[in-house]
Amino acid sequence: MHTVVVGTTGVTASDVLAVARGGARVELSDEAVSALAAAREIVDALAAKPEPVYGVSTGFGALATRHISPELRAQLQRNIVRSHAAGMGPHVEREVVRALMFLRLKTLCSGRTGVRPSVAQTMADILNAGITPVVHEFGSLGCSGDLAPLSHCALTLMGEGEAEGPDGTIRPAGELLAAHGIEPVELREKEGLALLNGTDGMLGMLVMALADLDTLYKSADITAALSLEALLGTDRVLAPELHAIRPHPGQGASAANMLAVLKGSELTGHHQDDAPRVQDAYSVRCAPQVAGAGRDTMTHARLVADRELASAVDNPVVLPDGRVESNGNFHGAPVAYVLDFLAIAAADLGSITERRTDRLLDKNRSHGLPPFLADDAGVDSGLMIAQYTQAALVSEMKRLAVPASADSIPSSAMQEDHVSMGWSAARKLRTAVDNLTRIVAIELYAATRAIELRSGLTPAPASQAAISAARAAGVAGPGPDRFLSPDLAAADAFVRGGHLVEAVESVTGPLA
């Protein structure tokens, strides 16, 4: 099994994916263990002093003015975890929880939090055992960290609450830890707080969304090219010299991808035939501009994610010179903004994709294709309602594009009076990515059927590869009406699994 070693300088996006989705084993570097021990010595020294230090010998948030006596400090740390584990709603997906825990471990290993090495090792042991704390949908405002989600994870470290075992069964966390020989943690000064104070949930979901969108944007370039072919459009608008004079990198990459897919097609360039067109519709002609803008948004989001992956987010933090200082680095605004930006870009990509599908089905705009791509229009409805489903998904995407980060709601008796709502932005982005995958899958279903209905003209080799692979995967071609939902599900699985991109790249080579 692949092993990810966590040091003091952060982790990479591929590390997060390996642990969250691939079940990779986690180990602490010797450097991280040394840094943990050194920072803990500083916290222990502060705890022995009579002066109050936030997070070490005081209460939290609006209760930070109370000095906590030594005999109550272990109880204080337990209590903050128990009281903050107040999530409600559906259970969060296993991959999200694993990313959340791994990223909190990343910050612990920075040596800036002051927890003992044994706390970090226990978190690694829980990940390696395949134990996943039960985390609920609601409970984070994206400031002071993803508090409730991280608290549910910390509760598992204490052997309390519920968790999911490697077999998927939910059991008391203490039972699962015992079954895997893991001793629960007895928290000491600063440790409860350090386990809760991070943007780890929203960051983990950002990293995974970026990985999914990378495949999805390539898939959308492919389906746009297939639709252009099916509509007998022109590929001259994809010429590199046209995109060089408006040098947005994403736009150029998207146009290059479409051009690669269309290479060798006999279907393109017929826009001056029976029904002459000066130009193709915007949904066809401007596909690289819209998809390209989304790609550039992803580039910015990756920059933010990489910076956050290299960060140590906690409050207070142990600085290299030995000071323990309060700060506001737990505020999720940088991550929240890009999560919302991605949802906006995804909604627009879904919108232009649906417009191409609608054009394929409309006999007045499809340049000779049968109404709704039906076998016997009137007797058969063809893909009429598939477009309804796509339109419903697009409408939902627009609602999901409303920024969560534009909102704030005060909490903790007005001590935490401005929050990021980054967790909410991440949750809705996950739904948006799922919906965009379905939207692209429906365009694939329609465009491949439309191409096969064009007799006498040979599609591009890459298009043929895509169609052949889709048909082999159970995505049905033209014919009389049939139960459509399973076909659309097969198209969704084909796109979601990256198989459309794989099929095309077998002809074109790697797409941008």
Do the beta carbons of residue 189 and residue 47 sit within 8 Å? Answer: yes
Do the beta carbons of residue 109 and residue 120 sit within 8 Å? Answer: yes
DSSP 116-167: -HHHHHHHHHHHHTT-EE--EEE---SSSSSHHHHHHHHHHHTT-SEEE-TT
What's the alpha-carbon Rg for the chain, to the nearest Å?
26
Contacts of 276 (CB under 8 A, 6+ apart): none
Contacts of 446 (CB under 8 A, 6+ apart): 227, 230, 357, 360, 361, 373, 383, 386, 387
Active site amino acids: 54
Identify the H or E element spanning 190: none
Task: Report d(CA 259, CA 261) in Å as an integer.
Answer: 5
The pair phi, psi for residue 455, each rounded to 5°, is -90, 145
Task: Report d(CA 32, CA 306) in Å as an integer.
Answer: 20
Tokens 């840094």 belong to 35
What type of residue sits at position 332?
Answer: G
Do the beta carbons of residue 128 and residue 25 sit within 8 Å? Answer: yes
Using CB atoms within 10 A of its CB, is residue 422 exposed (0-12), middle (13-18) or buried (19+)? buried
